[in-house]
C-alpha cells in the first residue's frame, strides 16, 4: 500500500510521544528549536515523523502553540499534519497551532491588511471558471471584429506574466497586453483576486508596510515549511519576510527530490539556504525505513552523478534476497504483457494485493497500453495523479470527432466538436440551432444541413457552419468503410483542423503542451495499430472497444487496484513492488532536457522513481516502440549506464519470463487466471 511515511508513530494519546523512538539524526532535528535549521530528509527517512515530533517537542519545551506556523503545499498534507498533532497534544494546543498551505496563509494576511493596497478586506477569490467568464467578457468588449483570442490562451499568458513579473506586452501581443491591463483593472474594480494574486499581494503588503510585517512576525515566531525543495522565489521571499531577526525557521526537504522546476520550483532555495538565513543548523536524515539496501545502493549510485547537490547517502537495515532487475524488452507490447503476467503470478502465488504494486512512467501517454492490457485480464487499476487516458480532455475531443463521423445524430458529441478548435461558430448560432432541433424533434446535425435554417443566420456564420458540415461529410464515407485506412484518414483530419496548434495556444506551460500533444499522437497511433489488426468492422469496433474500456464501475473500489502513476505524481508514495517502464533515452531523460539544461532534474526524477520501491524494483526499456505512428529504435537510458551493478540483475525478456515455478504455484496461477477471465 502507499503511505506518506513508512514509520508510523502512535497518535492516540500525548503520552505516546517519546524521543527514544527516534534515531540520532531525527532526535537532533527534533531537539533543535531555535534559529534557522535545514533538515535534509532523504526519501523514506521518516520526514513526517520528525516534523511532527519536532512541533510537539516545541510545545513541551514551553513554546506557545499560537506562535507556531507550519506550512505545507496541499490541503491534504495540512489536514494530515493537523490530525497527527491533534492525537499527541491537548485539543487546545492543536487548535491554536496554525497549520496551513501557502495560499491559505496569504489569504489570512490579505484579509487583515489588503486595504493598504487599495482593496476591501472582503475581496472575492476568483475560481478558474470566474476567470474564464471575466476574460471572455473583456475579449468580447476589447477585440476588433477581425481579431480573435482564445480565452484559455489569454488566461495562460496573464498567469505567466504575474508569476514571472514580466508584462505580456513584452511578448509583442497587443491584444493580450490590452486584455491583461483591463483584466487586472477589472479585478481590482470588482474587489477580487485570482490565485496568482494571493502570493504576489501578500508579499507586497508585507514589504511595503512595516506595521504589517511586524504584526505577523510577532504572531508567528516559529515557522516550519515542509517540502521546501518545491518552493518558488515568492514563497521563499514570504518566509524570509515573516522570519524576522530571530529567524526561528525550520525547513524540511530533499534537494534530490526536487522535480518541479518546470512549474517554478527553485532548487537554489534549498541548495543555497545559507545565503538566505545566517549560519543555519543543517541536519541530514539518511537512515531509510522504506526500501531495502539493494534498492538504496542502486539509487544512490545514480543520484551522486548530479552536480551541485547536498551530499547524503541513504542506507537501510533491511536486507533483500532480490536484486534490482533491468530487463530489455523487444517492444512496448511485450513490455506491457510482461508486467501484467508478473502481476497475475504475484497475486496468485504470493497472495499479493493489487495495491501493493505500481507501474511508473515518465509520460501520461504511456499508460494507454497498460490500461488496455490490465482491462483485458480483468485486473483492477487506478490512475493516481492524473486521469485515465481515455478520460483526458484532448482524447475526449478526438473521440468526439470519431463518434460524430460514425453517428451525425450524436448531439452531445456534436456540441463538443462543433467549435473545437474555434472555427467561428458562435454560441448564439449554436443556441438557435439547438432550440430549433428541439422544436422540430430532430437531431442538431439535421438542422445544420437544413437550408431554411442557414438562411436565418448571418452570412458569416452560415459560411462557417457550411464549412464544418462539408468537413465532416468529406471524411464520413471513407472512414466508416470496413476496409478504410481510418487511422491515416483521422490523422489527416487532426492536421486539417489544426488541433495540435490549438493545444499549444491553450496550454499554460510547454510541458503541459508536450504531454497533451503526445497523448494526441498516442491516440492516433492506437487507431493505426487497431487498423492493422484487421478487425471486421474497422472504426466501429475501435469505438466499441474504447467504450468498454471506459466502463470502470468494477474498479471504483479505491482500496484495491494496481497503481498507474507518472513519476512526478509518485513522489511521497511507496509500494512493495515497483515497475519503472520505458526507461529509454529520450523518454527518461526526456529529449528536451539537453536543450533546457534540466538533465539533473530528470536524474532526480529517476531517483524518485527508484526510491518508491520497498521490496522489489524492476526497470524495463524497449528496443523499439511506436511514436507518432512510426516504429522507432530505442536504446536504454544513459541513466542505467551510471548504476553500480553490485545489486543489479540484467536480463533479456526471455530470461525474465523463463524462471520456472513449482507445480503448486503453477496450479494457483492458472486458477487465478481462470477466475479473472471468467472461465468456467
Residue 662 CA to residue 676 CA, distance in Å, equals 21
Residue 184 CA to residue 499 CA, distance in Å, equals 30
In the set 45, 48, 50, 611, the catalytic residue is: 48
Residues 6+ apart with CB under 8 A from 638: 585, 589
Angle at 308 between CA 305 and CA 313, to 5 degrees: 55
Active site residue 47: yes
Active site residue 307: no
The answer, yes or no, to whether the previous bond of 27 is cis (omega within 30 of 0) is no
Closest CA to 43 of 430, 572, 494: 572
Q: Could you tell me the three cell numbers for 377?
A: 485480464
In the set 194, 226, 491, 602, the catalytic residue is: 226
Residue 330 CA to residue 425 CA, distance in Å, equals 48
* CA distances to 192, 359, 517, 616 from 607, in Å: 42, 15, 26, 15
The answer, yes or no, to whether the previous bond of 127 is cis (omega within 30 of 0) is no
In the set 50, 72, 229, 257, the catalytic residue is: 257
* Residue 324, SS3 per DSSP: strand
Active site residue 347: no
Q: Give, for 99, the enclosing helix (H) or strand (E).
A: strand 98-101
Closest CA to 332 of 565, 653, 648: 653
Active site residue 227: yes
Alpha helices in 116-150 (DSSP H): 128-142
Residue 252 CA to residue 35 CA, distance in Å, equals 14
Active site residue 72: no
Active site residue 257: yes
In the set 82, 612, 616, 626, the catalytic residue is: 612
Residue 361 CA to residue 338 CA, distance in Å, equals 15
CB 251 within 8 A of CB 47: no
Catalytic residues: 47-48, 226-227, 257, 612
Amino acid at each position: 500500500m502507499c503511505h506518506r511515511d513508512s514509520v508510523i508513530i502512535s497518535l492516540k494519546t500525548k503520552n505516546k510521544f517519546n524521543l527514544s523512538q527516534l534515531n540520532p539524526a531525527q532526535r537532533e532535528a527534533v531537539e533543535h528549536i531555535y534559529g534557522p535549521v535545514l533538515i535534509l530528509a532523504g526519501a523514506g527517512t521518516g520526514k513526517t515523523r520528525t516534523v511532527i515530533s519536532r512541533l510537539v517537542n516545541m510545545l513541551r519545551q514551553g513554546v506557545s502553540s499560537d506562535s507556531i506556523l507550519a506550512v505545507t503545499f496541499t490541503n491534504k498534507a495540512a489536514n494530515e499534519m493537523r490530525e497527527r498533532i491533534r492525537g499527541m497534544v491537548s485539543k487546545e494546543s492543536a487548535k491554536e497551532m496554525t497549520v496551513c498551505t501557502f495560499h491559505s496563509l496569504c489569504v489570512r494576511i490579505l484579509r487583515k491588511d489588503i486595504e493598504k493596497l487599495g482593496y476591501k478586506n472582503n475581496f472575492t477569490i476568483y475560481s478558474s471558471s470566474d476567470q474564464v467568464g471575466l476574460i471572455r467578457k473583456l475579449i468580447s468588449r476589447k477585440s476588433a471584429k477581425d481579431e480573435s483570442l482564445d480565452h484559455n490562451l489569454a488566461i495562460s499568458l496573464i498567469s505567466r506574466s504575474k508569476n514571472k513579473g514580466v508584462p505580456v506586452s513584452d511578448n509583442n501581443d497587443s491584444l493580450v497586453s490590452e486584455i491583461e491591463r483591463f483584466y487586472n483593472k477589472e479585478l481590482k474594480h470588482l474587489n477580487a483576486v485570482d490565485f496568482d494574486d494571493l502570493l504576489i499581494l501578500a508579499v507586497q503588503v508585507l514589504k511595503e508596510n512595516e506595521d504589517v510585517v511586524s504584526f505577523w512576525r510577532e504572531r508567528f515566531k516559529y515557522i516550519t515549511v515542509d517540502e521546501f525543495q518545491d518552493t518558488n522565489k515568492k514563497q521563499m521571499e514570504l518566509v524570509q519576510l515573516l522570519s524576522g531577526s530571530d529567524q526561528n525557521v525550520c525547513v524540511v526537504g530533499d534537494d534530490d527530490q526536487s522535480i518541479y522546476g518546470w512549474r517554478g520550483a527553485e532548487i537554489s532555495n534549498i541548495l543555497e539556504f545559507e545565503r538566505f538565513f545566517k549560519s543555519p543548523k543543517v541536519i541530514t536524515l539518511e537512515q531509510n525505513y522504506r526500501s531495502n539496501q539493494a534498492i538504496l545502493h542502486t539509487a544512490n549510485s545514480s543520484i551522486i552523478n548530479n552536480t551541485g547537490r547536498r551530499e547524503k547517502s541513504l542506507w537501510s537495515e533491511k536486507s533483500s534476497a532480490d536484486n534490482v532487475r533491468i530487463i530489455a524488452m523487444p517492444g512496448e507490447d511485450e513490455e506491457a504483457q510482461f508486467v501484467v503476467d508478473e502481476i497475475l503470478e504475484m497475486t496468485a502465488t504470493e497472495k499479493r494485493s493489487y495495491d501493493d504494486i505500481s507501474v511508473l512512467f515518465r509520460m501520461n501517454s504511456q499508460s494507454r497500453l497498460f490500461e488496455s492490457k490490465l482491462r483485458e485480464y480483468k485486473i483492477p487499476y487506478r490512475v493516481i495523479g492524473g486521469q485515465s487516458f481515455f478520460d483526458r480532455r484532448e482524447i475526449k475531443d478526438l473521440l468526439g470527432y470519431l463518434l460524430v463521423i460514425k453517428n451525425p445524430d450524436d448531439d452531445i458529441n456534436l456540441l463538443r466538436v462543433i467549435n473545437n478548435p474555434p472555427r467561428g461558430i458562435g454560441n448564439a448560432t449554436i443556441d438557435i440551432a439547438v432550440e430549433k432541433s428541439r422544436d422540430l424533434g430532430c437531431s442538431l446535425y439535421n438542422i445544420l444541413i437544413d437550408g431554411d435554417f442557414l438562411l436565418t443566420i448571418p452570412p458569416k456564420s452560415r459560411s462557417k457552419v457550411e464549412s464544418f458540415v462539408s468537413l465532416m461529410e468529406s471524411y464520413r464515407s471513407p472512414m466508416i468503410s470496413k476496409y478504410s485506412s481510418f487511422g491515416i484518414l483521422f490523422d489527416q483530419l487532426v492536421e486539417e483542423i489544426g488541433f495540435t496548434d490549438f493545444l499549444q495556444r491553450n496550454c499554460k506551460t510547454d510541458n503541459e503542451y508536450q504531454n497533451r500533444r503526445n497523448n494526441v499522437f498516442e491516440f492516433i497511433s492506437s487507431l493505426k495499430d487497431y487498423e492493422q489488426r484487421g478487425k471486421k468492422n474497422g472504426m466501429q469496433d475501435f469505438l466499441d472497444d474504447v467504450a468498454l474500456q471506459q466502463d470502470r464501475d468494477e474498479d471504483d473500489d479505491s482500496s484495491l487496484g494496481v497503481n498507474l502513476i507518472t513519476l512526478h505524481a509518485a513522489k511521497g508514495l511507496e509500494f512493495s513492488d515497483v515497475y519503472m517502464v520505458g526507461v529509454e533515452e529520450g523518454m527518461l531523460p526526456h529529449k528536451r532536457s539537453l536543450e533546457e539544461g534540466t538533465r539533473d532534474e530528470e536524474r532526480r526524477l529517476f531517483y524518485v522513481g527508484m526510491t518508491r520501491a520497498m521490496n522489489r524494483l524492476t526497470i524495463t526499456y524497449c528496443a523499439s516502440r511506436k511514436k507518432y505512428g512510426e516504429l522507432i529504435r530505442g536504446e536504454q537510458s544513459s541513466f542505467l549506464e551510471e548504476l553500480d551493478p553490485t545489486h543489479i540483475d540484467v536480463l533479456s525478456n526471455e530470461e525474465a519470463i523463463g524462471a520456472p515455478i513449482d507445480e503448486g504455484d503453477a496450479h494457483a496461477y492458472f486458477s487465478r487466471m481462470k477466475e479473472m477471465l471468467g472461465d468456467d
